[in-house]
Structure 1
């Protein structure tokens, strides 16, 4: 989307430019969402926990450089793990014991959090970030990272990265990468067809129209849930009828997901699960088979029963309300996200049939992220990202735990619980799951979480998004294939996109 914000702050998860994450700044290891194999070392070389999971020893690769030619050492890693939102509140100590070894001690076991500590914490140079006191407002327009690329030029329409000659594996074969701001799915599709874009991740209703020339290949990994995100907790400042779980449950029952999938997503989306486990990948963690998928057909009668049991009555126009005030909910999505925009219209129409007034509207991407981040909204169509490994722990920890949210008006310092959801039972179960490697204990904790979030519905599942990647195979080789899914080919994913860039090379002609 344009204008692109000149922001390369790796702590600004939702507002920094895409290529901040992985291409410029790296985590210690790469965890492949599409594989059960061990993570790949980036800055990191190896890691191990002690027997009770409270001490994590990390060893990094020697002789690494920051892009400004300063040495990258264990001191930078120790600093990064303890800086800003990176610091886990359970951290007791972080010590760089030599140039390549860091020992982190926690007050509770961190086995299950390994993928977030090691795969989703971006390492920054101490000699620069130690001078930055307000890390969240910093835009970092001249980023110094360890990744395969460095920033060359920037405009609000596009920015260009060039290969980092100091990258530990040597400068990648693709010498320049330009990230272009596109204001709609249709514009990106048109540019892809005419050869002006080489790599796109978006919804395309007719992928054959893009791939028919043989220049572009595609892959659709259905894994990220599209949800109606609600501002759920009145105690944290949320306002509106959606703060009542009964209203969220009724809206859940009112949706015809099969119709939404067919009409808004061209039948390319999958069925979402209220457990927020990725199925069938996470099958062993599903506690109740009835939570495998959300209802696919609308049940207006059930929606009515839920609302009437909660004290709502219909007015003369056939819409439910309470105490003389009709339910009226605002649902927004980013303008140009055609699949989301169409889905929102369908949701509004389906809700109306169940007596729930939902007003669907579109906003610019900038106007979208501000209320999402600070909680000033009722309903927003939103895409959750799936866990890095075959275990839904990070979903529960990042999207449902109280520690991952903040009061309305504040941006969460750690995590992405923009729904402002808070439940003590869920918090206790998340803590229990994160403290063990015992699968039985984890399954019991996940059962508690799944039952509660499927009842409370702070995020109402819509579909498992059609996550389509399109990429130029005529001019570039080395892309992931069905036989070698070394990384997810969606270009907007953190770290995975950079891993792919380091695998690519021009096709010899």
Structure 2
């Protein structure tokens, strides 16, 4: 049976309706497994998907995106617009009206003050917020009354749905995090590991990099939800073990990101215990090039910072050569089959934001890559097979997370780069650590103590403004921000920053699309600081007995866990 016949589209699930839910928790226990274990339950201190998504079971935003990418009111009465008066005519304010009667899981009232505090927490000048781009252009957030939140922007903001939207920007409780502002944020272990939320579940126990025990939130706004009384969220291992636990053994009900070769998944599906769900969104596997020097010879605190430009990659000809040597179609075929397609774009969708003329990277061009390196002065002067320049060997460290597909990619790309005359050392780090955001760890993707690194992420919703704003100069991770920040490769171009500002005040959709495409091209074609590889379909698995699953590529994958139920 071909894999493509088993992949369901966005929002697809079993065509079964749940029985009338007599009471919350009536369906007992549910098991979820992620091959990358959560290390923290505060998305403002981690850009790792496994942390953001596990936290989304507990913490919620004011608005979020459904499986079609449409904005939905979540903790508010309606989505503010100019038409309904929620967005001011001059586009400088957006006003949210919170649903009355909402409670935190500890039974206290959820109020607008919590949203005001959340903004203060992320925007604190002495802190490091992993989601700071969500608050791009915000000048202040106020609460004129307990159920009203007013966000004011420094300039007209045609797309004002950054703050408090999607799984990346939820509301945290002011009472719990009040003493955790600025540099103190990482020190608040209890709050970061066991946040109080408004979501369908609450944390009973959290063992970082291992397992989360959750139970139904007794104060959840729908008295019939969630259907499951308890949940075990297991993390770690690898994608194969996670997929097998759902598709073959039936030990788990849901497995995230079954990033495996197509033939492996086809064999697992024969177990008959579960099914795959797949949809394309904005998830791009890419290589980020470090624009700063990660050398361990530098003093701690100066490695991978703007104080020291990268000694090799400061030349765009070198960066372009790395890209030209890659056969993206082959990578897509061996890694994802029907669930992947080669891309040169960081933003592959929606169509209006995807650059259509940025396709030059698709055909592999080894000779062109070699010519560029020659032109840049990197030649093999001593005949040992490794290029050198001014006495420096072209030797790089290439890191990524531990995953069978990613290690396959590393091995193949290493061969291509070595064919160019580059010495390549490979490193893989457990995903729980790599994506964990621990400021004390040398192995996080934010700290970037390597020359190039590979991973994938995406953005909430269908508008890429906040996503592209991650690459402005001020968002580079550094010691002063506890190594938080979204500008992973430390790219800094005032022209890029200016274009981000222009996007922020542009309302006309065609013009927004034009600007977003230019920004995409600046990162991937004009400067080549990001090397996109594969536009990945989101591919996960769930048990045949788990109903209500709606795969969402535009928000947290666990966005509707409150609606899951047991098929009896």
Aligned to 1:57: 95
Could you state the TM-score of these two structures normalised by the residue count of structure 1?
Answer: 0.88
Aligned to 2:205: 153
Q: CA deviation at 1:459?
A: 1.6
Q: CA deviation at 1:18?
A: 5.1
Cα distance 1:334–1:10, how it changes in 2: closer, same or farther (>3 A)?
closer
Q: CA deviation at 1:73?
A: 1.1
Aligned to 1:498: 559
Aligned to 1:307: 373
Deviations for 1:314-363, whole angstroms, at most 9, x for unmatched residues?
3313433211322111111222x000011011000011122233222323
Find the residue that maps to 2:492 and give its secondary structure: coil
How many Å separate the matches in 2 of 1:122 and 1:190? 32
Q: CA deviation at 1:265?
A: 3.5
Q: Does the alignment pair 1:78 with 2:116?
A: yes
Could you say what the CA RMSD is over the residues aligned between the two structures, in angstroms?
A: 2.6
Q: CA deviation at 1:5?
A: 6.2
Please give the residue correspondences for 1:99-118 in structure 2 after superposition, counting only pairs within 5 Å. 99-118=146-165
Q: 2:141 touches 2:152 (CA, 8 Å); kept in 1?
A: yes
Q: Which residue of 184, 188, 196 maps to 2:238?
A: 184
Please give the residue correspondences for 1:32-71 in structure 2 after superposition, counting only pairs within 5 Å. 32=66, 34-37=67-70, 39-46=71-78, 47=80, 48-71=86-109
Deviations for 1:26-61, whole angstroms, at most 9, x for unmatched residues?
1111113x4243x12221223232123211111111
Cα distance 1:92–1:464, how it changes in 2: closer, same or farther (>3 A)?
closer
Please give the residue correspondences for 1:315-464 in structure 2 after superposition, counting only pairs within 5 Å. 315=381, 316-335=383-402, 337-365=403-431, 368-369=434-435, 370-385=443-458, 387-398=459-470, 400-407=471-478, 410-411=481-482, 413=484, 415-453=485-523, 454-464=525-535
Q: Which residue of 169, 176, 195 maps to 1:121?
A: 169
Find the residue that maps to 1:263 and give its secondary structure: helix
Q: 2:460 touches 2:555 (CA, 8 Å); kept in 1?
A: no
Q: CA deviation at 1:172?
A: 0.6
Cα distance 1:250–1:113, how it changes in 2: closer, same or farther (>3 A)?
farther
How many Å separate the matches in 2 of 1:365 and 1:476? 27
Please give the residue correspondences for 1:181-220 in structure 2 after superposition, counting only pairs within 5 Å. 181-192=235-246, 193-201=248-256, 202-205=258-261, 206=263, 207-220=265-278
Q: CA deviation at 1:433?
A: 0.5
Find the residue that maps to 1:498 and give its secondary structure: coil
Find the residue that maps to 1:135 and give its secondary structure: helix
Size of the alignment, in residue pairs?
Answer: 486
Cα distance 1:185–1:142, how it changes in 2: closer, same or farther (>3 A)?
closer
Q: 1:3 touches 1:181 (CA, 8 Å); kept in 2?
A: yes
Find the residue that maps to 1:479 and give its secondary structure: coil
How many Å separate the matches in 1 of 2:51 and 2:510? 41
Q: CA deviation at 1:251?
A: 0.4
Q: 1:238 touches 1:376 (CA, 8 Å); kept in 2?
A: no
Q: CA deviation at 1:408?
A: 6.8
Q: CA deviation at 1:116?
A: 4.8
Q: CA deviation at 1:238?
A: 5.1
How many Å separate the matches in 2 of 1:311 and 1:356? 13
Cα distance 1:465–1:354, how it changes in 2: closer, same or farther (>3 A)?
same
How many Å separate the matches in 2 of 1:270 and 1:307? 28
How many Å separate the matches in 1 of 2:411 and 2:74? 43
Find the residue that maps to 2:96 and give its secondary structure: strand
How many Å separate the matches in 2 of 1:465 and 1:89? 27
Q: 2:94 touches 2:160 (CA, 8 Å); kept in 1?
A: no
Q: Which residue of 262, 287, 291 maps to 1:232?
A: 291
Please give the residue correspondences for 1:246-261 in structure 2 after superposition, counting only pairs within 5 Å. 246-261=317-332
Deviations for 1:42-87, whole angstroms, at most 9, x for unmatched residues?
2122323212321111111110001111111112122222323477
Cα distance 1:420–1:57, how it changes in 2: closer, same or farther (>3 A)?
same
Could you state the TM-score of these two structures normalised by the residue count of structure 2?
Answer: 0.79
Find the residue that maps to 2:169 and give its secondary structure: coil
Q: 1:54 touches 1:109 (CA, 8 Å); kept in 2?
A: yes
Q: 2:260 touches 2:404 (CA, 8 Å); kept in 1?
A: no
Find the residue that maps to 2:340 and give its secondary structure: coil
Deviations for 1:462-500, whole angstroms, at most 9, x for unmatched residues?
111242110112x221122xxxx6x34xxxx9644031x
Which one scores higher on RCO, CA 8 angstroms, separation ≥ 6?
2
Find the residue that maps to 2:377 and give its secondary structure: coil
Gaps of 5+ in 2: 1-33, 81-85, 123-128, 294-305, 436-442
Q: CA deviation at 1:290?
A: 2.4
Find the residue that maps to 2:558 and give its secondary structure: helix
How many Å separate the matches in 1 of 2:146 and 2:113? 7
